[in-house]
Amino acid sequence: MNLELFDDFDTAPVTSELLCDGAMVLRRFALQDGKDLLAAVDAIAQHAAFRRMETPGGLRMSVAMTGCGAYGWISDRSGYRYDSVDPLTGLAWPRMPHLFLELARRAAAQAGFDGFEPDACLINRYEAGARLSLHQDKDERSFDHPIVSLSLGMPAVFLFGGLQRADRAMRIPLMHGDAVVWGGPARLRYHGVLPVKASPHPLAGDCRINLTFRKVT
């Protein structure tokens, strides 16, 4: 007989870990919605394809990106910016699915940021070996709003540093279904993702998908 209350991974409870003032991990927050979230990502990618963007320095990013909502994030030879038009299609980005909005609002509120209304969802796709080097998210107009991230598919190790690039970084494993909320004094911390290891996921296959919800304007 099974005497464990939460023995089944699918029904295990959401737990929260405070990383530092302003940053909170909500383990398994989006676990129940994983399938629907991945299906919505596929639908978005049919209209706004995943693409590996070029950095201003001329390097191609290993992470493939797309987005939805009023604004999408773009990198090219001229710099980083948000734009309401997808340069690949000349069209507006796909609208943000209600499920995305609802989860982003609820995660933010759970971490103490009530009233979060994201106008952009950046969608990152990592294949084995893809990584994101240490950076700050500072292309948004105001840093008064948090950023909510949802991880899906293959696990990854997240690097969470300080306000200076050289500050020592914590290593935080992020799994399918985990949410992280970063705001207040943590909003401008350096962060990145170590090269993702191949470990095929039952729903996502050979990739890791990360959704980041932002208020850009």
Query: Does 140 interact with Fe ion (rule: CB under 5 A)?
Result: no
What does the alpha-carbon distance between residue 215 and residue 136 come to, in Å, rounded to a whole number?
15
What does the alpha-carbon distance between residue 12 and residue 15 come to, in Å, rounded to a whole number?
9
**Contact mark string toward ligand MD3, 179..198, x via CB under 6 A:** -x-x---xx-x-x-x-----
CB-based closest residue to ligand MD3? 210
What does the alpha-carbon distance between residue 170 and residue 192 come to, in Å, rounded to a whole number?
10
- Cβ neighbour number for residue 173 with a 10 Å cutoff: 12
Q: Angle at Cα 53 formed by Cα 140 and Cα 127, nearest 5°?
A: 105
Closer CB to ligand MD3, residue 94 or residue 153? 153
Residue of 26, 31, 45, 124 interacting with ligand MD3 (CB under 6 A): 124
Q: At closest approach, how far in Å is the CB of 160 from ligand MD3?
A: 6
Closer CB to ligand MD3, residue 154 or residue 186? 186
Residue 3's contacts (CB-CB under 8 Å, 6 or more residues apart) are none
User: Which residues does residue 172 pair with via DSSP β-bridges, in sequence order?
Assistant: 158
Query: Does 137 interact with ligand MD3 (rule: CB under 6 A)?
Result: yes
- Cβ neighbour number for residue 9 with a 10 Å cutoff: 11
To which H or E segment does residue 124 belong?
strand 120-127
Residue of 86, 137, 140, 178 interacting with Fe ion (CB under 5 A): 137
Q: Residue 136 in contact with residue 121, Cβ under 8 Å?
A: no
Closer CB to ligand MD3, residue 108 or residue 193? 193
What does the alpha-carbon distance between residue 169 and residue 185 come to, in Å, rounded to a whole number?
16
Closer CB to ligand MD3, residue 28 or residue 90? 28
Q: At closest approach, how far in Å is the CB of 162 from ligand MD3?
A: 10
The partner in contact with residue 186, picked from Fe ion, ligand MD3, none with C-beta cut-offs of 5 to 8 angstroms by kind, is: ligand MD3
Q: Which residues bind Fe ion (CB under 5 A)?
A: 137
Question: Would you tell me which residues interact with ligand MD3 (CB under 6 A)?
Answer: 122, 124, 132, 137, 147, 149, 180, 182, 186-187, 189, 191, 193, 210, 212
